[in-house]
Structure 1
Amino acid sequence: MAPGVRSARAWRTRDEVNATPEPSDRTFGNEDALPRVPLPALDETCDRFLEWCAPLLTEAELAETRAAVEAFARPDGPGRALHAALERYDAEPGVRSWLDTFWPYRYLGRRDRIALNANFFFLFQDTGERQLERAAGLIAGALDYKLQLDAERVPPVLQRGAPLSMEQNKFLFSTTRIPGAEQDTVRAPYSAEWPGPSQAKHIVVFYRGNIIRMDVIGPDGVPHALDELVAGLGTIMKAEPAPEPSAGHLTTKARAEWAASREALLAADPANARALDDIETALFCVCLEDVAPRNDLEACDNLLHGDSGNRWFDKAVSLVVFADGTAGINVEHCGLDGTTILSFVDALLGASPEAHAQRSGARSQGLPVVEAIEFVLDDALRADVRDAAAAFAAYAAATATTCVSFDDFGSERAKALKTSPDAFVQMAYQLAHKRAKGLTGATYESIATRQYRNGRTEAMRVVTPEVLRFVAAMDDPEAGPDTRRAAFRAAAEAHVRRAKDCQAGRAPEQHLWELQLIQKRRGEELGVTEHLALFDSPGWTTMRDDYLSTSSAPSVNIRYFGFGSTSEQCIGVAYVLLPDRFNLYLSTPEPVAGAMYDFADRLREAVRELQDLLAG
């Protein structure tokens, strides 16, 4: 190049230099450009932790917790060494987030059963279709989504014009959690063992104890036509009852116990390895129920647990279709959060089955190949399966649930009252809980953080000093409407500020939890072997002992969202808050069911009362 001559690339205006690059329209095209999850400074996390737990503690408990925090974070203390190790990890090549190790431990490290305890569900809006047509339409929609995803033509989700992480979409298809003695693993595409999208062409269909492999994509990668999917499902529903109890029951066991059962299956007969492989590599499951739910609550309960012989709870996605065409989805949580599943469901239900089939290129190829998946069981394994079925049925029966529905309140009404819709309902929960149980207890709310690379969620703790003043004012006979309104607005504003902090990565719980886990994994190597009093302190144990565990799923395509409670006194609160309606599914252990039903009644009162208060 001649002296004094610049390349065309070098000539850029100041606007071009400072311009924000346009987001890629490829599904995974923005992942490397997303900002990293901020790693908070240790002192900021400790100060925030004390601030967050203080409203739940007595003065003596707070003093004990403060002393434990000071010992943890002293200049030569264990917290400094653990945080320094986390900083080094976050800077390592190939590490996309300081939470990259945290997430597998949080989800795959849990040792209790995931069925009912961890998996979540959505109940879809009705379409009026019959069972076979509804199931075939959902299959067609899922196959269309998969082919779009494989080609990276699923548009990245944007939030205020900025792309969100789409990484979780890699775990929608052919993904299965594998039980382990100490920690589970995941069998999935887009991995070193299985590079790129899944090449599987089959799904697994459950019906009356039968586990059936059905090819839904032809040899050349083209989906079967809709009428062929209907015919294939119809063939399955004519099958004789299964000769053996369903191995699906085993997926309800505590994880180490299920791992032992899986090893026993593999040792019993080589055919069992092939059966497991068929299930684990399948694109997804379809569970056909031979009953029609009597109401929304029964549909929700069946989606949460149902007949465990008709489920494989380790499968990432299970589409469930009842005898009357009612349908929903059960989701294994380790790689998938609600926001990703909402996008998937919205795509699934946002177009007709015919439109999905047309876009995917589906064509007639003859009746799909249908084959029974059969496990070879000896007497010990049969007993194991039956015991697992009975234990889970008893566990499900020991969980109380109820639905609460408002058709005269939604997010538009909250906005008209000049308040954040989420803050409104969270304040209603606090008021209802105080009136139902006589106390303000630890409350968890899930906050999405997909604007970050590998972002998932942050743990928000709802109870603030402003919340305590609000619930006290609402039942103070000396407090007039103006005082109560002011207390509500102060609490709602504090809630919004804290939610924004969580969205920005300024939250203490997961940071401290990961430091605790680093000591467990590497304490001896780092010279941090002392007992950490912080993690036994009243603040840590009380703040994380949920009385309310809350999460929202706003979509016009679903009626209810749900999950199990997280502790012996907890009420799980899954809510769908839309412009014109507000639906909740509540769950709690049966021994404290009375408090949940009282909470539901008090919530109905609180929503009306707060509307009247703010309108005054």
Structure 2
Amino acid sequence: MCRIYNLSISICRLPIPKLEDTINRYLAAQKPLLNEEEYRNTEKIARKFEAGEGRLIHRDLLEHDRLNKHTSYIAGPWYDMYLSARDPIVLNYNPFITLNPDPKPEYNRQIVRATNLVVSSLKFLNSLKNNYLRPDIYYVNRKWGQSKVFKHFIRILPPSISWYGAYLVNAYPLDMSQYKSLFNSTRIPNLSKDALFTSEFARHLLVMRNGHLYVFEVLDAFGNILHPSEILAHLTQIIHDADRLPKFELCYLTTEDRNTWATLRQELVQKGNEENLKKIDSAVFCLCLDRASPQNELELTHCFLHGYGFNRWFDKSFSLIVTSDGTAGINFEHSWGDGIAILRFINEVYRDSTEHPALVPQASPALFVTSCDKLEFNMDHTITSAISAARQKFDQKRGMFCVKTLKYKKFGKQYLINQNLSPDAVFQLACQMAVYHQYGKLLPSYEACSTAAFKHGRTETIRPTSVYTKKCTVAFIDQRGKHSTEDMRNMIDECSKYHRRLQLEATLGQGFDRHLFALKYLVQRRGGRMPDIYNDPAYKNINHIIISTSTLGSEAINHGGFGPVVPDGFGVGYNMFEDWVGSIITSYLEKDSEELIKYLEYTLNDIYDVLEGRSLK
């Protein structure tokens, strides 16, 4: 198999857009959000920036990028942005993804599925460590992805030119540098700015059950995986041992704001708990065996997104969660990496655990295994009081947090593809219309897009709100019945084409958000005067993201979600399945969330009627 870095070493660097292109794209995104007077003022400020101090800062950014060819211009600032944030990471940053059930029902017993997922995860880890993980490649023509000739061709090419070899057949290698932080990694709370920790040698698994923490080795010194029956035995021991709740659940401290948690962690170290904390930090990953059995998507979302603050160590790079009915999923810390790395991991682990399960349901646990190491902590009144306060604070915030779900079954991805439309564009258009119905205006929106096609790329922003979506929205709502069905259909087509263009630009590193962010970061680092463009109310408004959206599609995934990024906003996770559309909307505004879901279904119906040639009533 190909070595993991054969393609990654030679991958192209993330480009810095031309300043004039960034300003043009920025103004295009602002236009549908501003009235004429506001837009003229913002345009004046932006053009002044482009011609004056912006040009000088941009020149400095280019020079800084030239001197740091080992990485991308956005990587450092992006890590700093995440790690310097002082808000709690749960609800604010950590997303979740749930897996589909194992196709064989008998394999969905909690302890069986947990064992199989652990073994498959460790196989992935070993492939990664031994440089035998198949490289991430986006194939324009998917037949090349199955071609043994192509794989052999790429494998024998020198790393310095393998990237070009892939490009010859329209295959685009993706950056995989984030994978090094997938395992044995934890975000460590520090005052002012956190740190990412990764252990190279730890071989133990962290398991949580009922708020208790356990560790046991799952790899030997040569990387061999513990026999599945022994893993099963350890997990059985843990379930039997953790039959009662601890008096104080230490894990609640990971729900605290980062400065508070950093101070309390130092208290724990001073009380002699440093070794236990090291075992948590260095563990391969965290397995959470929950007693809960979520009955619907609403309960499932609460369980996997925040777990009610309980039985989770939110700082771990990722936690594999398995509920009592065998439902499985991932909650991951976001600073180290993005959805594309987690998606690859989930796809491979799901496929391996369902197609090549290490354990059959009838298997018995090994009879003779050493006991797990249960982590016991020394806690004084300061720590126990802090745990109680953290629990109370989190419960209060969770009480304000609401989740709404949508299953729209009139059409899905395949229907829209057959209509020569972008499924993503249609959902984003429906969101714009729903917001307009609810608020009487368009609001700042955000769609995450990966820039993994470039070395150390992270994400770029797609701005779904455009002059095209505004025109279409006004026609569907304010001017309802005044346009022919054919004209309405043409407007949807225009929105789809423009959205595809925005997607392509963002994927190629040609958005405007990361560029403006990097320029601002450079000014802040130097302590200079902040340019007027960043103090413009329009700039602050467009970056107060009311509608934050993201999607990850895969046969392994049931659904996913995340919290809103601003207190008065919405987190919109969605999947376009073959014949239906699923969405999970989170917010601190329950009534507004109910209305948004209602209007989203309403606008999807409107779009469907137009696509079917029916006039709107």
1:25 & 1:575 partners in 2: Cα distance? 33
**Residue in 2 that maps onto 1:615:** 612
Within the candidate set 169, 176, 182, 2:186 is matched to 176
Equivalent positions of 1:104-123 (< 5 A) are: 104-123=79-98
Q: Say whether the 8 Å CA contact 1:62–1:538 is kept in structure 2.
A: no
Which residues of 2 match residues 283-322 of structure 1 at below 5 A? 283-322=284-323
> Which letter maps to 2:187?
R
Alignment match of 1:36 (pick from 10, 13, 16)? 13
- The one-letter amino acid paired with 1:116 is L
CA distance in 1, matches of 2:216, 2:354: 19
SS at match of 1:123: strand
2:168 corresponds to which residue?
none
Provide closer, same or farther for how the CA distance between residues 93 and 486 of structure 1 changes in structure 2, counting only shifts above 3 A: closer
Q: Which of residues 98, 102, 111 is equivalent to 1:132?
A: 111
**CA–CA separation in structure 2 for the residues paired with 1:364 and 1:233:** 11
Output aligned runs, 1:92-491, within 5 Å: 92-127=67-102, 128=105, 129-160=108-139, 161-189=171-199, 198-240=200-242, 241=244, 243-267=246-270, 269-270=271-272, 272-352=273-353, 355=356, 357=358, 366-367=368-369, 369-475=371-477, 476=479, 477-491=481-495
CA contact (8 A) 1:176 1:315 kept: yes
Alpha-carbon distance in structure 2 between the residues aligned to 1:105 and 1:59: 36
Q: Which moved more, 1:224-233 or 1:346-355?
A: 346-355
Are the aligned partners of 1:399 and 1:588 in contact in 2 as well (CA < 8 Å)?
yes
Change in 2 beyond 3 A, CA 1:419/1:94: closer
Give how far 1:611 is off: 2.0
Following superposition, the deviation at residue 357 of structure 1 comes to 4.0
Specify the alignment match of 1:26 in structure 2: 3
Which SS does the other structure have where 1:315 is aligned? coil
- Partner Cα distance (1:554, 1:354) in 2: 20
1:559-578 per-position Cα deviation (integer Å, ceiling 9, x unaligned): 11100011122111111222
Deviations 1:514-550 (A, max 9, x none): 1111111123xxxxx2242211212211211122111
**Aligned position for 2:28:** 51
Provide Cα deviations, 1:252-295, integer angstroms capped at 9, x if missing partner.
Answer: 1111111111112112x22x101110000000001111121121
Matches within 5 A, 1:494-573: 494-523=498-527, 529-573=528-572
How far residue 408 of structure 1 moved from its aligned partner, in angstroms, is 4.2
Task: Give the secondary-structure state (helix, strand or coil) at the position aligned to 2:342.
Answer: helix
Identity %: 29
Q: Which moved more, 1:604-613 or 1:463-472?
A: 604-613
Normalising by structure 1, report the TM-score.
0.89
Q: Name structure 1 gaps, 5 residues minimum.
A: 1-23, 190-197, 524-528
2:561·2:572 contact (CA, 8 Å) conserved in 1? yes
Q: 2:190, 2:63 → 1: CA distance?
A: 29
Q: TM-score, normalised by structure 2?
A: 0.89
Residues 565-584 of structure 1 aligned to structure 2 (within 5 Å): 565-584=564-583
SS at match of 1:238: helix
Flag the 1:514–1:555 CA change in 2: closer, same or farther, 3 A: same
User: Cα–Cα, structure 1 residues 153 and 365, in superposed 2: closer, same or farther, change >3 Å?
Assistant: farther
Change (3 A) 1:411 1:210: same
> Contact conserved, 2:117 with 2:353, CA < 8 A, in 1?
no
The separation in 2 between residues aligned to 1:344 and 1:411, in whole angstroms, is: 24
Deviation at 1:351, TM superposition (A): 2.3
Q: For the Cα contact (< 8 Å) 1:247–1:309, is it kept in 2? A: no
SS at match of 2:529: coil
List per-residue Cα deviations over 1:158-206 (Å, max 9, x = no partner).
11222111112111101100112111110025xxxxxxxx322111111
Equivalent-residue separation in structure 1 for 2:178 and 2:511 (angstroms): 22
| Alpha-carbon contact 2:524-2:530 (below 8 Å) kept | no
| Structure 2 Cα separation of the partners of residues 259 and 312 of structure 1 | 14
Distance 1:377 1:451 in 2: 47
Whether the 8 Å CA contact 2:126–2:223 is kept in 1: the answer is no
Deviation per residue, 1:198-254 (Å, 9 max, x gap)? 322111111112111122223443212222211111101111535541221111111
1:381-415: CA deviation from partner (whole Å, max 9, x where unpaired)? 10001111111121112111011113442211111
- The AA in structure 1 aligned to 2:39 is L
Check conservation: 1:108, 1:185, Cα contact below 8 A.
yes
Aligned residues: 570
In the TM superposition, what whole-angstrom CA distance separates every residue of 1:551-596 from its partner, at most 9, and x where no partner exists?
011011111110001112211111122223321111011xx22121
Gaps of 5+ in 2: 140-170, 360-364
Hey, what's the Cα distance between the residues in 1 that align with 2:462 and 2:337? 19
CA separation in 2, counterparts of 1:242 and 1:547? Answer: 39
